[in-house]
């Protein structure tokens, strides 16, 4: 894995912490990885499977 640094608005961090506190994810990084994976599946891989043009 590679390390990246991102800046997020405070409400996003608060929501991530809520997901971690409710034990949906073990830590922020895992929640962010899941969100990115889901985005890629929908926006990139899903479009390729359905023959939709990319943005």
What's the pTM? 0.76
pLDDT score of 50:
66
Is 16 in contact with 31 (CB distance < 8 Å)? yes
Q: Is the pLDDT of residue 55 over 70?
A: no
Helix axes 10-21, 28-40, angle to 10 degrees: 110
pLDDT score of 20:
98
- For 49, the token pair is 């499977």
Give pLDDT tens digits for 2-52: 999 999 999 999 999 999 999 999 999 999 999 999 999 999 877 777 666
Q: How far apart are CA 35 and CA 32, in angstroms?
A: 5
Q: Is the pLDDT of residue 53 over 60?
A: no
- Strand spans (E) along the chain: none
- 25: Cβ contacts below 8 Å, ≥ 6 apart: 19, 31, 34
pLDDT score of 8:
97
């Amino acid at each position: 894995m590679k390390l990246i640094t991102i800046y997020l608005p405070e409400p996003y961090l608060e929501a991530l912490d809520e997901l971690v506190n409710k034990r949906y994810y073990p830590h922020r990084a895992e929640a962010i990885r899941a969100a990115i994976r889901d985005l890629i599946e929908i926006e990139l891989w899903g479009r390729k499977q359905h023959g939709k043009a990319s943005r």
